[in-house]
Amino acid sequence: MKGSLWLAWRQQRALVLTGAALLLACVAWVAFQRADMMSFIDAHHFKVCKGWDSEECAGTDLEQAQRLLSDNDDGIVALGTLSAALPVIIGIFWGAPLLGRELESGTWKLALTQGVGLRRWFTARFGLAVLCSVLGSAVLAALVAWWWSPISNMLDGLYWHDGYIFNATGPAAVACALFGLTAGTAAGLLIRRTLPAMGVVLGVVVGLRFLLNTFRSSWIEPTARISQGDAPRENVRSAWSTGEFGFIDGAGRKRPIADACPWGEGLPDLKTCMAQKGFVGRYHKVYPSSDFWVFQWIETAIFLGLAAVLFALICVVLRRRAVI
């Protein structure tokens, strides 16, 4: 490696090698665990099913399913937690010191008065950090998906909308890692101290994740599953229920009153009740599992957009030499 790339490598090699070693350990562990899981599924001719309960999963051996879930869910949750926390870890240990430590220790004055200019110096170090963040987060996100997908959305296991899965896999996980890195870099540049920058990036990434998790369901309209008359409702299966049940009246309007026709001793049955109140059908609002990708791309766009804004800010501040 030559020039500024050598410097970037020399300064980041401890991080790169530590990260690579941890990632390799994860790969080995997941490969072993997943092989175990797959051999169990094969050996017992286990029928994988997507759904909430025994009614939805008729034909699946529940005892075997429980064993599969209890054997693997803790591991997937641990891996998912690591993957979901990776953007914060990258922001703190890679982003914040990337410029923050240089400014704090004054070594930026040494680096920027050599033959290599600011642009190449920054491009090399930020580029290496971006490459490692993207690779690392993509591998971890893929591992989560690889291990989880054979037993995904099954009974009381892990569903696509659980934080351990949604935040830990897919393109949004990679985009979030990129955002964490950029946020850490910007914090280090603007605060000029590594430790406070670490605190800020922790707050920012965790805060943004919290906001996204809170408002995720508000971005797109759920799908209303309609059942005509008193016909039984469609099973939830792998969908994410909004918890909104209701009735449809004669004019086709949705009435979100779940308990308009309660069950009970001495009460009229559903058909009678609906007829009395003028309802012609029932509905249940859910996000089908295909919405996983819609949510993923929305959050990917948010993370990448914010990362781009912060990157532009970093470039402007560096160019104007507003540092010192």
Partner 1 sequence: MTDPTVPTALRATGLGRRFRSRWALRDCAFTVPAGKITALVGPNGAGKSTLFHLATGLLHPTTGELSVFGATPGSDEARARTAFLAQDKPLYPRFTVGDTLRFGRELNDDWDQAAAERIVRAGDIPFDTRIGTLSQGQATRVALAVAFGKRPELLLLDEPLADLDPLVRIEAMGLVMEEVAERGTTVVISSHILSELESVCDHVLLLKHGGVRLDGDVQRLCEDHVRFTGLADASTGDGLPAGLDRGTVVEATVTGRQLTAFVRGTAPTGDHWITETPSLEELLLAYLRSDDRPTEDTGRDGAAA
15 binds partner 1 (CB under 8 A): no
Among 117, 229, 256, 262, the residue binding partner 1 under the rule CB under 8 A is 117
Angle among Cα 219, 225, 230 to the nearest 5 degrees reads 150
194 binds partner 1 (CB under 8 A): no
Among 10, 44, 47, 277, the residue binding partner 1 under the rule CB under 8 A is 10
User: Which whole-number Å values give the CA distances from 76 to 146, 169, 198, 227, in the listed order?
Assistant: 10, 11, 28, 36
How far apart, in whole angstroms, are the C-alpha atoms of residue 7 and residue 107? 12
| Span near partner 1 by CB under 8 A; candidates 35-43, 108-116, 169-177, 254-262 | 108-116
Q: Where in 16-75 is the site for partner 1 (CB under 8 A)?
A: none
Cβ nearer to partner 1, comparing 119 with 277: 119
112 binds partner 1 (CB under 8 A): yes
315 binds partner 1 (CB under 8 A): no
CB of 101 to partner 1, least distance (A): 10
Cβ nearer to partner 1, comparing 12 with 182: 12
User: Which whole-number Å values give the CA distances from 287 to 19, 49, 218, 229, in the listed order?
Assistant: 36, 18, 11, 22
116 binds partner 1 (CB under 8 A): yes
User: Which whole-number Å values give the CA distances from 39 to 32, 35, 98, 150, in the listed order?
Assistant: 11, 6, 45, 12
Among 44, 47, 109, 233, the residue binding partner 1 under the rule CB under 8 A is 109
Pair of tokens at residue 272? 């009678």
Pairing of strands 279-287, 240-249: antiparallel
Pair of tokens at residue 308? 């781009």
321 binds partner 1 (CB under 8 A): yes
Among 232, 251, 264, 324, the residue binding partner 1 under the rule CB under 8 A is 324
195 binds partner 1 (CB under 8 A): no
| Span near partner 1 by CB under 8 A; candidates 19-27, 81-89, 101-109, 197-205 | 101-109
Helices marked H in the chain — which ranges?
3-43, 62-90, 96-105, 107-111, 118-148, 163-166, 170-191, 194-215, 270-277, 291-319
Q: Where in 65-94 is the site for partner 1 (CB under 8 A)?
A: none
Cβ nearer to partner 1, comparing 15 with 258: 15
Contact call for residues 226 and 249 (beta carbons, < 8 A): no
Tokens 């950029």 sit on residue = 182
Among 70, 107, 272, 290, the residue binding partner 1 under the rule CB under 8 A is 107
CB of 304 to partner 1, least distance (A): 31
